[in-house]
């Protein structure tokens, strides 16, 4: 029985022991079970450069527990427990300002092992500092005792702020901030001063450089007189009042055409300045009511080394489309070089130049100083005698070659203008041709021959000028007029600058002249109506760009009656994605068949087309008959460009002339146009008698 009792007692004891968690693997170890000291085996990083920013230190080892603390030279640092073999600690920038060796240890909580061994952490030589900004960045001239705050990284105790290479008394705030005091003497005049920071050795060195600007105080504007200016003003004179004006002050004239800096400002006192300049305050736009405010311009002022002042507003008042006109010579201009320097100027009838002249006029426009305007005879036969009865029909873009015509025979004259030094003027007979048009180079020309044919035949002529040896002058058939009216039987045509492409009616012919090997001559329709059909109605006076991509032309939708002015982008040579487009520049009035009486002129890039017209609906206030207009086709322009038409044959105040104007020729950059006019009030120096006399005028267009 005793044995049974003992067995019962033993079993009861075992049950109690198990119920209390004894003997099982889930039992938590007591503190006395982990009394081993922590061990540090490595640090990551093990070294940094003095002046480095704050960073996270990784401590590797063993024996780490929850509550272990990393100590930095015996001082606790914020510590994160990762595992029993790794801790991380946050080290501040202030802990690594100077080069030294720091002892890193780990201390476990009481009863969990105590302190570890010490591991050395090296703070090496000083880093090269970096400046990110200074404050203030601009100081007003004469400001006393300015505290300059330099912000950046890598600054160490003992670092110096340098101004223009000279050490300043410097206060060390922290590794990202230094301060220096600048004296009034250092800030006595407008200038720019280089600022940098130099850390001492070991290591160290100079930082990047930033600029401290010492400037006059910015001006303040009160008013400008006059408060309103004509939108078409070509010159502006006015008085500016305000405060803080100093010599060297400039003005910024801000209009819808952009900002222009005006430096010709006369500062008469600190509160007043005067200016006189030539500028167009606002874009020329069609206007209906003279005197109406159509926009504003802003005027700001800037002293040396300062930003702009406040802005004051000046009204731009409508006065019509105004452009200063320049008198060139008497007569009429039937042809012009690309730079408008050389003109065919001859006698005139009314407003239309009669092409009966046989000389070039050197207007000296754009020529070097010392040029004297002169007349250059060109109707000279191959034997040196005069070509009686001939007139100058065309000139090449450089004015070197002139086409001479008497209605039957055609000659080509080498004037040697813009030619080589050893050039000798000479005349060549081309043949019995009609309606000859020269290419941009004298080698190729296109002409028509009727002969016994009802329709005109179009040929390409090759003069062999500038061609390789072995070339023989020849003519190549291109096309023949077809249809049942004068315009289609005798189509208009034009030739590209290289002679490769010819436009005849609505078709373009690629003759492969000068083209890469493998080019195959071809014919393609390029002018279509709104429904995508080839233009079968008369197309006349085509003008093509040098590369034959753009075409401006007159189109007669009523079979030879009124003419509309159109523009087509054929996309020839354009990149993928270009879609051929046709747009109307100006539409005629069905009641008037003479609204576009003369040929047009186009810039090489197709952007601008100058033309004359009798239409009085293109711009308001047009009541004087035939005028010169400039169309902006927006070809090649940035997004947002809107096609527009501007009347050019008005004076600087926007007043239309008292006569007719025609025969425009536009410069290759679109900025200038010369034309013939019978108006007597557009420019100074014009001939007023006899009543039907004309003059050649030159006008600056609104093209920038």
Q: CB–CB of 179/102 below 8 Å?
A: no
Phi-psi region of 111 (alpha: psi -120 to 50; beta: other; left: phi over 0): left
Give the pLDDT of residue 300: 83
For residue 603, CA distances in Å to 196, 473, 664 come to 54, 30, 12
- What are all long-range contacts of 466-475, with beta carbons under 8 Å and residues at least 24 apart? 466/441, 466/442, 467/443, 475/431
- Based on the domain organization, do 111 and 134 belong to the same domain? no
Taking the C-alpha atoms of residue 567 and residue 41, their distance in angstroms, rounded to an integer, is 83
- Based on the domain organization, do 377 and 500 belong to the same domain? yes
Task: Answer yes or no: is 14 within a domain.
Answer: no
Hunting for tokens 């920013």 — which residue is that? 53
Closest CA to 602 of 676, 665, 671: 665
Phi and psi angles of residue 606, each rounded to the nearest 5 degrees, phi first = 75, 5
Task: Please give the helix or strand (H or E) that residue 6 lies within, else none.
Answer: helix 2-19
Give the pLDDT of residue 244: 84
Q: What is the mean pLDDT of residues 207-217?
A: 89
Task: Answer yes or no: is 520 within a domain.
Answer: yes
3-state secondary structure 362-418: ECCCCCCCCCCCEEEECCECCCCCECCCCEEEEECCCCCEEEEECCCEEEEEECCCC
- Based on the domain organization, do 551 and 631 belong to the same domain? yes
Give the pLDDT of residue 294: 44
For residue 196, CA distances in Å to 38, 208, 483, 492, 495 come to 47, 6, 83, 73, 65
Taking the C-alpha atoms of residue 210 and residue 196, their distance in angstroms, rounded to an integer, is 7
**Is the pLDDT assigned to residue 307 strictly greater than 80?**
no
Give the pLDDT of residue 687: 60
* pLDDT tens track for 19-55: 444 444 444 444 444 467 899 999 999 998 887 889 9
The number of domains in the chain is 4
Task: Answer yes or no: is 288 within a domain.
Answer: yes
- Based on the domain organization, do 547 and 577 belong to the same domain? yes
Q: CB–CB of 111/31 below 8 Å?
A: yes
**Is the pLDDT assigned to residue 320 strictly greater than 60?**
no
**Is the pLDDT assigned to residue 697 strictly greater than 60?**
yes
Q: What is the CA radius of gyration of the chain?
A: 44
Task: Answer yes or no: is 467 within a domain.
Answer: yes
pLDDT-based confidence at residue 58 (cuts at 50, 70, 90): very high
Q: What is the CATH number of the domain that holds 154?
A: 2.60.40.10
Task: Answer yes or no: is 6 within a domain.
Answer: no
Task: Answer yes or no: is 12 within a domain.
Answer: no
* pLDDT tens track for 356-405: 568 899 999 999 999 999 999 998 999 999 888 888 888 998 999 998 88
**Is the pLDDT assigned to residue 630 strictly greater than 80?**
yes
Question: When comparing pLDDT for 508 and 21, which is higher?
Answer: 508
- Based on the domain organization, do 202 and 83 belong to the same domain? no
Taking the C-alpha atoms of residue 213 and residue 474, their distance in angstroms, rounded to an integer, is 72
The range of the structural domain enclosing residue 240 comes to 220-317
Task: Answer yes or no: is 27 within a domain.
Answer: no
- Based on the domain organization, do 150 and 290 belong to the same domain? no
- Based on the domain organization, do 111 and 195 belong to the same domain? no
Taking the C-alpha atoms of residue 295 and residue 314, their distance in angstroms, rounded to an integer, is 9
* pLDDT tens track for 213-258: 888 787 888 888 877 665 544 456 778 898 888 888 888 777 655 6
**Strand-pair category, 79-83 with 86-91:** antiparallel
pLDDT-based confidence at residue 472 (cuts at 50, 70, 90): very high
Taking the C-alpha atoms of residue 492 and residue 495, their distance in angstroms, rounded to an integer, is 11
Residue 17 in 3-state DSSP? Answer: helix
pLDDT-based confidence at residue 596 (cuts at 50, 70, 90): low
Asked which of 268, 292, 317 is the last residue of a domain, the reply is 317
Q: Is the dihedral of CA 167, 171, 177, 180 positive or negative?
A: negative
- Based on the domain organization, do 545 and 459 belong to the same domain? yes
- Based on the domain organization, do 634 and 666 belong to the same domain? yes
Q: What is the CATH number of the domain that holds 560?
A: 2.130.10.10
Q: What is the mean pLDDT of residues 563-573?
A: 88
Taking the C-alpha atoms of residue 478 and residue 493, their distance in angstroms, rounded to an integer, is 11
Task: Answer yes or no: is 462 within a domain.
Answer: yes
- Based on the domain organization, do 533 and 652 belong to the same domain? yes
Give the pLDDT of residue 432: 82
- Based on the domain organization, do 584 and 485 belong to the same domain? yes
**Is the pLDDT assigned to residue 433 strictly greater than 60?**
yes
Give the pLDDT of residue 235: 54
* pLDDT tens track for 158-203: 899 999 999 999 999 998 999 999 988 888 888 889 999 998 887 7
pLDDT-based confidence at residue 537 (cuts at 50, 70, 90): low
**Is the pLDDT assigned to residue 570 strictly greater than 80?**
yes
Give the pLDDT of residue 302: 84
Mean pLDDT of the chain: 81
Give the pLDDT of residue 621: 67
Give the pLDDT of residue 251: 81
Give the pLDDT of residue 561: 56
Bridge partners for 107 per DSSP: 69, 115
- Based on the domain organization, do 420 and 480 belong to the same domain? yes
Poorest-confidence range of 121-130, 231-240, 347-356, 455-464? Answer: 347-356
Asked which of 168, 191, 215 is the last residue of a domain, the reply is 215
* pLDDT tens track for 68-94: 999 999 999 999 999 999 999 999 988
pLDDT-based confidence at residue 689 (cuts at 50, 70, 90): low
Asked which of 215, 237, 268 is the last residue of a domain, the reply is 215
């Amino acid at each position: 029985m005793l044995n049974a009792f003992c067995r019962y007692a033993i079993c009861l004891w075992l049950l109690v022991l198990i119920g209390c968690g004894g003997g099982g693997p889930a039992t938590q170890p007591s503190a006395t079970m982990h009394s081993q000291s922590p061990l540090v085996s490595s640090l990551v990083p093990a070294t940094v450069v003095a002046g480095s920013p704050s960073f996270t230190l990784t401590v590797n080892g063993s024996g780490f527990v929850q509550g272990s603390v990393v100590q930095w030279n015996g001082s606790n640092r914020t510590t994160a427990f990762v595992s029993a073999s790794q801790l991380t600690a946050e080290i501040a920038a202030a802990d690594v300002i100077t080069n030294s060796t720091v002892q890193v240890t780990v201390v476990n909580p009481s009863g969990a092992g105590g302190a570890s061994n010490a591991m050395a952490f090296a703070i090496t030589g000083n880093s090269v500092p970096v400046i990110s900004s200074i404050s203030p960045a601009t100081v007003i001239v004469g400001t006393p005792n300015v505290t300059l705050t330099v912000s950046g990284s890598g600054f160490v105790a003992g670092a110096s702020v340098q101004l223009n290479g000279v050490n300043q008394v410097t206060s060390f705030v922290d590794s990202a901030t230094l301060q220096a005091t600048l004296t009034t003497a250092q800030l006595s005049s407008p200038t720019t001063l280089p600022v940098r920071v130099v850390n001492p050795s070991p290591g160290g060195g100079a930082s990047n450089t930033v600029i401290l600007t010492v400037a006059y105080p910015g001006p303040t504007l009160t008013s400008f007189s006059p408060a309103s200016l004509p939108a078409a003003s070509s010159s502006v004179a006015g008085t500016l009042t305000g405060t803080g004006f100093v010599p060297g002050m400039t003005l910024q004239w801000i209009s819808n055409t952009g900002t222009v800096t005006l430096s010709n400002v006369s500062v008469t006192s600190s509160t007043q300045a005067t200016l006189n300049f030539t500028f167009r305050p606002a874009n020329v736009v069609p206007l209906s009511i003279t005197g109406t405010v159509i926009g504003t311009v802003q005027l700001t002022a800037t002293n040396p080394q300062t930003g702009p002042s406040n802005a004051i507003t000046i009204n731009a008042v409508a006065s019509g489309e105004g452009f200063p006109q320049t008198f060139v010579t008497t007569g009429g201009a039937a042809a012009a070089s690309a730079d408008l320097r050389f003109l065919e100027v001859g006698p005139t009838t009314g407003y239309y130049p009669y092409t009966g002249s046989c000389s070039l006029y050197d207007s000296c426009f754009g020529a070097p100083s010392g040029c004297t305007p002169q007349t250059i005879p060109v109707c000279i036969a191959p034997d040196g005698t005069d070509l009686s009865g001939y007139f100058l029909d065309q000139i090449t873009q450089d004015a070197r070659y002139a086409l001479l015509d008497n209605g039957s025979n055609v000659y080509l004259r080498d004037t040697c203008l813009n030619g080589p030094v050893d050039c000798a003027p000479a005349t060549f007979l081309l043949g019995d041709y009609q309606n000859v048009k020269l290419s941009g180079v004298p080698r190729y020309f296109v002409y028509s021959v009727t002969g016994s044919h009802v329709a005109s035949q179009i040929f390409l002529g090759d003069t062999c000028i500038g061609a390789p040896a072995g070339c023989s002058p020849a003519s190549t058939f291109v096309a023949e007029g077809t249809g049942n009216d004068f315009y289609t039987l005798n189509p208009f045509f034009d030739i590209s600058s290289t002679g490769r492409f010819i436009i005849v009616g609505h078709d373009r012919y690629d003759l492969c002249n000068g083209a890469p090997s493998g080019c195959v001559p071809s014919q393609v329709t390029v002018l279509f109506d709104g429904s995508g059909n080839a233009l079968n109605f008369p197309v006349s006076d085509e003008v093509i760009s040098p590369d034959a991509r753009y075409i401006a032309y007159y189109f007669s939708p009523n079979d030879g009656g009124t003419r509309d002015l159109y523009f087509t982008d054929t996309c020839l040579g354009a990149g993928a994605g270009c879609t051929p487009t046709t747009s109307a520049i100006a539409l005629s009035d069905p009641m008037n068949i003479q609204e576009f009486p003369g040929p047009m002129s186009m810039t090489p890039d197709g952007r601008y087309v100058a033309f004359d017209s009798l239409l009085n609906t293109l711009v308001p206030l047009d009541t004087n008959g035939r005028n010169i207009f400039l169309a902006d086709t927006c070809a090649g322009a940035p997004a947002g460009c809107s096609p527009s038409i501007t009347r050019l044959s008005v004076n600087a105040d926007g007043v239309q002339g008292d006569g007719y104007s025609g025969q425009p020729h536009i410069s290759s950059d679109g900025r200038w146009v010369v034309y013939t006019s019978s108006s007597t009030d557009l420019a100074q120096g014009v001939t007023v008698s006899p009543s039907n006399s004309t003059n050649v005028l030159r006008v600056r267009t609104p093209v920038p």
